[in-house]
């Protein structure tokens, strides 16, 4: 276990926000995690810091889960069971499986972050979510102070949400994720990906070609966090009742997509229609190519980021009566 006092986290969060943890501990096994949680049950858990808004001060203990390992078992001719440590990098898992000819995760290529955080917000992109591929999630339960395996049904996966994020927040620390994949058809229904595949001349694309298309679209639309601080989409796409969708359509030209009995609309469209695309306020701005993304133009604090986010939320609500929810997690105090 590696413990550091007054640890600087500025390079440990993709927004590049200045932040210091009172104590930072890296654990590389379930035993180390249990031992540290017994002393500090309410410790803050941090992965790769690509979906957090960190304030200047993170009091108490911050634990980074560095449990590694990828175990692949063949189930039948095409399906595989994969047990992955929470400390593995998500994108490296995707690359490693595709390299072994195992399909299923290609649409989730290039998503930054750790495997442990992936079920936390049920990561998703370009027509595919992690949830349906998860068989179970192994955790340390901070209430019982014991290890448990939650079957997928208990993970309550929803759009960018799960039991870990909003069901029982802070109760579970994810140690391993068990995924079943390999037997899905390629998913190319998302318009940007379909267009990119056509440009690449792929009529019957294979998973590697889908991954390539996803990577090209992402590189074009999203700022690289190594160069420009950001956390990807800052807002979730709102899910509306059909009645609210009809009301919205009276005020804004916008498409709706059926999802889980509701109508999903593009938060980017609402933000753009409200005139925020490319808007800059000191050290924070709305990315000019994708208005869902807020960026740190240099030296921004969590207060700056959240201030701009609140202005956008208020304005979109005032104009269209739609409440935007934030996607990243706010941690610490100013
Ligand atoms: C450029 C860019 C593009 C992105 N694109 C997408 C996208 O397409 N789709 C998408 O879904 N997300 C996207 N994201 C968001 C982010 O990459 C994912 O949410 C990712 O899963 C976060 O992983 P992390 O390790 O960085 O988590 P962190 O940011 O470190 O943590 C996020 C939350 O998860 C909790 N957490 C982390 N690890 C654990 C654990 N082991 N156990 C319990 N809780 C834990 C933390 O406490 C925190 O609340 C993007 C981010 C960026 C910067």
Confidence of residue 250 (pLDDT cuts 50, 70, 90): very high
Q: Is 18 a catalytic residue?
A: no
Confidence of residue 1 (pLDDT cuts 50, 70, 90): confident
pLDDT, tens digit (0-9, with 9 covering 90-100), for 261-271: 999 999 999 99
User: Cβ(232) to ligand 1 under 6 A?
Assistant: yes
Tell me the residue range of the domain where 125 lies.
Answer: 70-181
Provide DSSP, 230-291: --SBSBPPPEE-HHHHHHHHTTS----EEETTEEE--HHHHHHHTT-TT-EETTEEE-SS-T
Return the structure tokens found at 259. 């999802």
Average pLDDT over residues 306-324: 98
Evaluate if pTM is beyond 0.75. yes
| Domain end point (choices 134, 161, 181) | 181
Q: Is 2 a catalytic residue?
A: no
164 shares a domain with 243: no
CATH number at residue 39: 3.30.43.10
Distance CA 131, CA 154 (A): 11
- CA 138 to each of CA 141, 219, 296: distance values in angstroms, whole numbers, following the listed order: 9, 33, 35
Return the structure tokens found at 296. 């740190």
pLDDT at residue 140 tops 90: yes
Return the structure tokens found at 16. 């590049």
In a domain, 195, yes or no: no
pLDDT at 37: 97
* Residue whose CA is at the smallest distance from ligand 1 atom 27: 47
Count of structural domains within the chain? 3
**Proportion of the chain above pLDDT 70, given as a percent:** 100
E strand or H helix that includes residue 62: strand 57-65
User: Cβ(112) to ligand 1 under 6 A?
Assistant: yes
In a domain, 60, yes or no: yes
In the set 64, 128, 142, 160, the catalytic residue is: 160
pLDDT at 285: 98
* Residue whose CA is at the smallest distance from ligand 1 atom 49: 329
| Test site for ligand 1: of 65, 69, 109, 117, most ligand atoms within 8 A of the Cβ | 117
pLDDT, tens digit (0-9, with 9 covering 90-100), for 83-115: 999 999 999 999 999 999 999 999 999 999 999
SS3 148: strand
Average pLDDT over residues 225-241: 97
CATH number at residue 124: 3.30.465.10
261 shares a domain with 171: no
pLDDT at 260: 83
Instruction: Give residue for tokens 């994108």.
Output: 91
| Domain end point (choices 65, 97, 119) | 65
Confidence of residue 223 (pLDDT cuts 50, 70, 90): very high
CATH number at residue 287: 3.90.78.10
Residue pair 326/15 in contact (Cβ under 8 Å)? The answer is no
CA of 282 to the centre of ligand 1 (A): 26
Q: Which of 203 and 68 is assigned the larger pLDDT?
A: 68
């Amino acid at each position: 276990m590696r413990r550091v006092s007054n640890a600087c986290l500025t390079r440990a969060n993709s927004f590049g926000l200045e932040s210091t943890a009172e104590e930072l501990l890296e654990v590389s096994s379930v035993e180390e995690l249990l031992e540290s949680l017994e002393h500090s049950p309410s410790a803050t858990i941090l992965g790769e810091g690509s979906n957090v808004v960190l304030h200047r001060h993170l009091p108490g203990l911050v634990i980074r889960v560095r449990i590694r390992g990828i175990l692949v078992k063949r189930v039948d001719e095409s399906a595989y069971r994969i047990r992955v440590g929470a400390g593995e990098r998500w994108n490296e898992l995707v690359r490693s499986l595709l390299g072994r000819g195992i399909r299923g995760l290609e649409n989730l290529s290039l998503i930054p972050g750790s495997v442990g955080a992936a079920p936390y917000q049920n990561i998703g992109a370009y027509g595919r979510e992690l949830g349906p591929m998860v068989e179970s999630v192994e955790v340390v339960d901070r209430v019982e102070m014991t290890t448990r395996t939650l079957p997928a049904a208990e993970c309550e996966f929803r759009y960018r949400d799960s039991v870990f994020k909003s069901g029982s927040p802070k109760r579970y620390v994810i140690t391993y994720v068990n995924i079943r994949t390999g037997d899905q058809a390629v998913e190319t229904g998302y318009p940007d990906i379909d267009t990119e595949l056509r440009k690449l001349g792929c009529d019957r694309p294979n998973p590697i070609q889908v991954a390539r298309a996803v990577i090209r679209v992402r590189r074009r639309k999203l700022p690289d966090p190594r160069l420009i601080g950001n956390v990807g989409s800052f807002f979730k796409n709102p899910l509306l009742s059909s009645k609210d969708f009809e009301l919205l359509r009276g005020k804004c030209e916008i498409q709706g997509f059926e999802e889980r009995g509701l109508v999903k609309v593009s938060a980017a469209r609402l933000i753009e229609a409200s005139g925020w695309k490319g808007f800059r306020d000191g050290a924070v701005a709305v990315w000019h190519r994708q208005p869902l993304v807020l960026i740190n133009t240099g030296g921004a604090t969590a207060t700056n980021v959240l201030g701009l986010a609140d202005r956008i939320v208020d304005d979109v609500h005032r104009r269209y009566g739609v409440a935007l929810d934030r996607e990243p997690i706010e941690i610490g105090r100013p």
